[in-house]
């Protein structure tokens, strides 16, 4: 066990790294962030910010020597970075698990190999495979790059078989998966913690709404039959067990004609788990610290129904939003990530609305968003 007072670190200085550091500091740890950006959100709140590239071996060594353990805030860290760090300190999640989650081809094959349900897909690595791929999957279909995609980036919708070549070219002819475009009745996700002993603690299933490929709203508990809720937790647990995962993991689901399909696995806290910052006994970030340090898992029970609302950079079009309007609502809790520049589609923060009646929490959320959007400031 690595106890409070020790130093722990995170690779990556975005909002997830920042909230990890905040949770770690609350528990009395010292924190180190490695990120090349001098103005990174996590760098501001860490005890030490090592400003260097993720492949800078000297910087990695410094981090490994300063820290008792290091985790990641995103899966796109070079595998080499993790194995290099591994020589100096504890690294979680394991490089093996990261390698699967950072690559859609590996991820989808991993799910298929373990008989876990996914949308119909085929992998595409060269032009020669395009025609057969689109014949197999049909249209509409989504072509997604194997690596590097997030917030709907790295994806092309294919509505006619003849478009597949253009889509592949648009994505730079990199390895991809072609996936059936499904009529989703809902999107759900489960965040969980899995300990060294293999014990899994699931958070309540969240119901997620996306806009333009980016998460907009998460609602917990998800308004689905209890049986579906149980199935989602069961499938997420299977994923974590098969990966022999230690840490916090999120599984995204599609609900199609009453059936759950696994969309993606994130080997870290997840945007759809930000509701846990205010609405569960233990937040997903405190849980990440606990799993990294080998501490007992915290309680995941919901204290109140909650709606999490993302705040994207678009809201800053006419200057900083009128926060006082949001802060007047006793049910609302604001989280801003300290990003220096607002850009359209960039995640700048979120707010959680807690109310015993989840429908009411949704109404209040909408009302607040409307007020934040009012140009008359």
Interface with Mg ion (CB under 5 A): 264
Q: Which is nearer to ligand ADP, 21 or 158 (CB)?
A: 158
Residues in the chain: 377
Give the binding-site size for ligand ADP (rule: CB under 6 A). Answer: 18
- Determine contact, residues 244/94, Cβ cutoff 8 Å: yes
What is the gyration radius of the CA atoms in the chain, in angstroms?
Answer: 21
CB atoms within 10 A of CB 304: 17
Choose from ligand ADP, Mg ion, none: what does 179 bind? Cβ within 5-8 Å by kind: ligand ADP
What b-and-e string marks burial along 274-290, b requiring 16 or more CB atoms within 10 Å of the CB?
bbbbbbbebbbbbbbbb
Q: Which is nearer to ligand ADP, 180 or 355 (CB)?
A: 180
258 burial type by CB count under 10 A (0-12 exposed, 13-18 middle, 19+ buried): exposed
One residue of 95, 148, 149, 313 binding ligand ADP per CB under 6 A: 149
Q: Which is nearer to ligand ADP, 49 or 180 (CB)?
A: 180
Choose from ligand ADP, Mg ion, none: what does 150 bind? Cβ within 5-8 Å by kind: ligand ADP
- Determine contact, residues 252/266, Cβ cutoff 8 Å: yes
Q: Which window, 158-166, 178-186, 224-232, 323-331, contacts ligand ADP (CB under 6 A)?
A: 178-186
One residue of 6, 52, 59, 184 binding ligand ADP per CB under 6 A: 184
Bond prior to 164 in cis (omega within 30° of 0): no
Choose from Mg ion, ligand ADP, none: what does 78 bind? Cβ within 5-8 Å by kind: none
CB atoms within 10 A of CB 178: 26
Q: Of 124-143, which residues contact ligand ADP (CB under 6 A)? A: 142
Q: Which is nearer to ligand ADP, 150 or 323 (CB)?
A: 150
One residue of 152, 161, 294, 345 binding ligand ADP per CB under 6 A: 152
Work out how close the CB of 149 gets to ligand ADP at its nearest, in angstroms, rounded to a whole number: 5
One residue of 127, 135, 150, 162 binding ligand ADP per CB under 6 A: 150
Distance from C-alpha of 273 to C-alpha of 251, rounded to nearest angstrom: 11
Distance from C-alpha of 207 to C-alpha of 215, rounded to nearest angstrom: 11
Say whether residue 181 binds ligand ADP (CB under 6 A).
Answer: yes
Binding mask 202-241 for ligand ADP (x = CB under 6 A): --------x--x----------------------------
CB atoms within 10 A of CB 301: 12
Distance from C-alpha of 35 to C-alpha of 44, rounded to nearest angstrom: 11
Binding site for ligand ADP (CB under 6 A): 119, 142, 144, 149-152, 179-182, 184, 187, 210, 213, 252, 263-264
């Amino acid at each position: 066990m690595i106890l409070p007072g020790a130093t722990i670190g995170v690779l990556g200085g975005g909002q997830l790294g920042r909230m990890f550091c905040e949770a770690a500091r609350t528990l009395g740890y010292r924190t180190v962030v490695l990120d090349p950006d001098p103005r990174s959100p996590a760098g501001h709140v860490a005890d030490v910010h090592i400003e260097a590239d993720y492949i800078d071996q000297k910087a990695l060594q410094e981090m490994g020597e300063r820290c008792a353990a290091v985790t990641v805030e995103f899966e796109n860290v070079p595998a080499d970075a993790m194995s290099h760090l591994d020589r100096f300190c504890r690294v979680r999640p394991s490089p093996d698990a990261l390698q699967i989650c950072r690559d859609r081809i590996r991820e989808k094959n991993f799910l298929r190999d373990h008989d876990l349900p996914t949308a119909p897909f085929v992998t595409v690595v060269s032009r020669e495979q395009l025609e057969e791929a689109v014949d197999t999957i049909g249209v509409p279909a989504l072509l997604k790059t194997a690596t590097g995609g997030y917030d709907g980036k790295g994806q092309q919708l294919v509505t006619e078989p003849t478009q597949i070549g253009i889509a592949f070219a648009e994505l730079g002819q990199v390895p991809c998966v072609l996936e059936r475009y499904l009529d989703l009745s809902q999107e759900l996700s489960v965040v969980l913690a899995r300990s060294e002993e293999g014990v899994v603690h699931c958070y309540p299933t969240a119901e997620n709404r996306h806009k333009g490929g980016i998460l907009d709203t998460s609602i917990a508990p998800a308004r689905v039959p209890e049986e579906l809720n149980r199935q989602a937790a069961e499938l997420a647990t299977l994923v974590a067990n098969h990966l022999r995962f230690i840490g916090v993991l999120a599984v995204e689901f599609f609900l199609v004609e009453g059936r759950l399909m696994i969309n993606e696995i994130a080997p870290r806290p997840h945007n759809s788990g930000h509701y846990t910052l205010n609405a569960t006994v233990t937040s997903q970030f405190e849980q990440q610290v606990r799993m990294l340090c080998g501490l007992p898992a915290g309680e995941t029970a919901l204290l109140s129904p909650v709606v999490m609302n993302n705040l994207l950079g678009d809201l800053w079009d006419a200057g900083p939003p009128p926060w006082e309007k949001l802060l007047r609502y006793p049910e609302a809790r604001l989280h801003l990530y300290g990003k220096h520049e607002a850009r359209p589609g960039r995640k700048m923060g979120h707010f959680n609305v807690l109310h015993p009646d989840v429908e009411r929490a949704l109404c209040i959320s909408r009302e607040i968003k409307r007020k934040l959007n009012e140009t008359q400031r």
